[in-house]
Structure formats: C-alpha cells, structure tokens
Amino acid sequence: MKKSFPNRIVASTIMACLLVGCALPMASTPTQFVFPTPNLTMTALFQIPPTNTVAPQATATQAVPTSSTPSATLSPTAPNCTNLAQFVSETFPDLTYIAPGTAFTKTWTLKNAGTCTWGAGYALVFDSGDQMGGPASVPMTASVPPGAVYNFTVNLKAPATLGQYQGFWKLQSPQGVRFGTDASGKAFWVKITTAVLAPACAAQTKRPESYGGIIEAYYTSTPPTIDAVLTDWDSPLIDDVPYDVWGDTDNDARFTLKWDHDNLYLAVKVVDDNFYQSTSGGEDLFKGDSVEILLDKDLKGDYCSTVMSSDDYQVGISPGDLIGTQGPSVWMWYPLDKKGYKIVAIASVMTIAPDTNGYIIEAAIPWSTFGGAPAGSEYYGFALSVSDNDESGQQQQGMISTAPKRTIFSNPMLWGTLQIEIQTGP
C-alpha cells in the first residue's frame, strides 16, 4: 500500500551527544564532534536547528573500560548458590524459514540470573525434541559471573523433510544438574520451518521488483550538514516507506540516501501522531519509535541464502526522546560479533503544528560500520523500516518498510535492493 506524505516544519529541540560503550555517563562541557577510529563504541551527535529552536547543548560520554573475557575455571560444588538463566536474545527467531538440509548456527544470548558463577564443567546440552544434527553438549569456555551475559552457540542442520521442527536445550552444571530460564528448569529452544523458498534459485545482482524495487543512493561531493534541517536535501525527500509489514501503525515516512567514500548519509522524515521513545537507546531501542536499516554487502554472493551471514547488517537508529533527556543513538544487532553501539553523527528533531506531528533524523554512518566503502555502481540487499510504538513495553507495535516481504528480518532473501549510484542525483 502506498502512502502520501505531508510537508512539515521543523520545531523542537536537538542535542548533540557522544554515546560510547554500554555505559553512558554525561558530562557538562561542550564537545566538538570528531569521527573516532572505526570499530570504537557508539557516539551520537545531534544539534538544534537554527530556526525557531533553542540553542544546542553538547554533552559527551566517557567509555567505560571493559576487560577481556576471563578464562573458565572449574566451578566447585556450591550448595549455597543457585543456577538460573535469563533469556536475552537469539538468532533465528521462531519459525524462521530454512531450506531443507541447510547448515546453520543458532545462538542464544543468556544472562546469568543466579548466584553461581558459570565456568568450566558447565555446558549447553540438548534436552528434548528435534536435535537437528546438533551435539549432545557444548562445553563452556569462559567464566560468567552472576549478572553477566554469554552467547551459547550450537551448529545445527535443517532436516531434509519439509515441516516444522523444534529442539529444546538447557544448561547443565558440573554436578550434572540441568537448569533453564525459570525455577522449574524451563528449556529454551530453536524452532524452524523447512521450506523450498526459491526453487532453482540463481544468483542475481538485484532482488525482484516486487520486493520493493530499487532504492538509489546518489553520490555527493558536498556532505550534508547533520543538523536535522533538510535544506540541503531534495524536497520532498525522494523515497517513500509504503508497506505495512507488522502490526498496527499510523506512520508515514520519506527518506533520501547519499554517499561518498567516507559515509552513507540518511535523511528520514516520519509522520507519527503519537511519538514515543523512552528506551536507553541500546539493544531495546526498537521498543520505541525508531528507524531500522538492513544491508547485505554481498547480494550476489549469497543471493540464495535464507540466513544472515557476516556481510549482513541490522542497524537501529533512535531519535532519542526529543525532550533533552535521552539523545539519539545507533545500535547494531547483526553481525553478532559486531553487536553494540556504533559511532555515528546523528541529528534529530520533533515536528509539530503547523507541520504534521513526527520527527526528523539525519545521520552520517561511516562505511567502516558496514565493513568498508563502495567504489560505486554496486547493488546491495537493503530495507529501511520504521517502528511505531505508542506505549511503554510494546515491541514493534507496528512497522512500515520499503520491503513488502520484510516479515522475517533474518532472511535476506526477503529484502529489497539498494543501488550505489555514481550520479549525483535523479
């Protein structure tokens, strides 16, 4: 379904901040934004637009040093401590479609919610259901104290017969006692559907037109100013976000992408009658109004793959709460080994009457975030989506997307196409 998009006027407050690491203490002295060395933690910069706004206030965050993962030590019998896990996240959500016979890696991120330290002698163990070629157990290789999280990973293979399969897994202590995610020992699981998604699939340079068409990012020799003022962008913004793909949403959105050899530039303008974003801007930012980018840097190379690989990226952009309490931020969910805050220049602002209610985000995303810069004329797998959340605690209450088939984010075959244009405009 295609949607119209009204014009707006910028009217709100933008702040500039550097978000680094997972702890974000605030400082009071102004800090000029400078891109740090790639692969550091998240920094977000946003400034108040010059018209009808209050003067910007800049703050900075200081990284909290993190120690390397400690080596595992044997956990002695500990009758006075409790083994308990808490589910945090997973790859391959329930009923992910996988081609029969496909090897895949399932990862559960679990928090040590008990009082025992997990270490040598602990293991991830198959408990019941469909084992899908997995091992009976996977020993732990690190010490995980109470309150810490750990990625439990197992290599599996989808059964050759079409259907739904579910395997249940637990953790096991050195004393052979199995435990799970509640006091009763509840197991966690992998649940997939094997299906022939693309008979006679042949690699192509771009996805079919019915997957959302081609989004074009135009080359720029003059980078836009990241200030949430759209005077240096096309008016109206070039691309629509027309498809309802999840839940109930009252959103509309338009956006434009530009690029140079340093950054991918994004301007997006969202219509939202009820703005809500109260998360800390990290892993849970999708629980508030936000923008998501899915990018496959090797579209032709893994064109027929139904699972995400190391060249597939899922990035969320939060505008912050737009009242000065929580600034904008960027979080990467995938690839898992790059998960965390990312260093990105961002500006955001709320729009109100006489314009339509909603918000604007501008961002300059370093190509290092996506593993390197293009030369030009490449085709990437791509989808831009907007989450709509009107109440606390909702998880993606609604979503619109450029990709009409983006119902399972972890299947790159359902994304659309991005063309890196060498031209400077349509």
DSSP letters spanning 122-151: -EEEEEEE--TT--SEEE--B-B-TT-EEE
Residues 186 and 247 occupy one common structural domain: no
pTM, two decimals, is 0.59
Task: Assign residue 169 the CATH number of its domain.
Answer: 2.60.40.10
pLDDT at 6 > cutoff 70: no
Mean of pLDDT over the chain: 82
User: Is the same domain home to 174 and 275?
Assistant: no
Residues 171 and 217 in one domain: no
Q: Looking at the domain assignment, is residue 47 inside a domain? A: no
Reading the block at residue 320, the tokens are: 């912050």
> Which of 166, 194, 222 is a domain's end point?
194
What is the domain count for the chain? 2
Is residue 370 domain-shared with residue 285, that is, in the same domain? yes
Residue 254 belongs to some domain of the structure: yes
pLDDT at 30 over 50: no
Residues 231 and 268 occupy one common structural domain: yes
Query: Among 14-18, 106-110, 160-164, 217-221, where is mean pLDDT lowest?
Result: 14-18
pLDDT of 31 > 50? The answer is: no
- Domain membership flag for residue 300: yes
* 219 and 172 both lie in a single domain: no
Domain that holds residue 389: 212-420
CA distance 90 to 86: 12
- 259 and 182 within one domain: no
- Do 164 and 268 sit in the same domain of this protein? no
Do 271 and 396 fall into the same domain?
Answer: yes
* Percent of the chain scoring above 70 in pLDDT: 79
Statement to judge: residues 151 and 235 lie in one domain: no
Given a contact cutoff of 8 angstroms between Cβ atoms, the answer to whether 415 and 381 are in contact is yes
Give the confidence band of 4 by pLDDT, cuts at 50, 70, 90: very low
Do 153 and 187 form a contact (C-beta atoms < 8 A)? no
For residues 238 and 240, give the distance between their C-alpha atoms in angstroms, rounded to a whole number.
7
pLDDT in the model for residue 35 = 39
**Stretch 205-231: mean pLDDT, rounded?**
94
Quick one: 164 and 265 in the same domain?
no
- Token pair 């050899």 is found at 261
Res 200: pLDDT: 61
In-domain check, residue 295: yes
Tell me whether residue 253 is in a domain. Answer: yes
The total of other beta-carbon atoms located within 10 Å of residue 213's CB is: 16
In a domain, 31, yes or no: no
Alpha-carbon distances, residue 274 vs 150, 155, 249, 288, 357 (angstroms): 36, 43, 10, 11, 8
Residue 210 dihedral angles phi and psi, to the nearest 5° = -70, -5
Residue 343, pLDDT above cutoff 60: yes
- 199: in domain: no
Q: Hunting for tokens 């991918």 — which residue is that?
A: 264
Asked whether residue 39 is assigned to any structural domain, the reply reads no
pLDDT of residue 216: 96
Q: What is the CATH number of the domain that holds 312?
A: 2.60.40.1190
| Average pLDDT rounded to a whole number, residues 294-304 | 93
255 shares its domain with 312: yes
Q: Which of 194, 223, 240 is the last residue of a domain?
A: 194
Model confidence pLDDT, tens digit, residues 144-203: 999 999 999 999 999 999 999 999 999 999 999 999 999 999 999 999 988 876 556 788
- Last residue of a domain, which of 194, 226, 243? 194
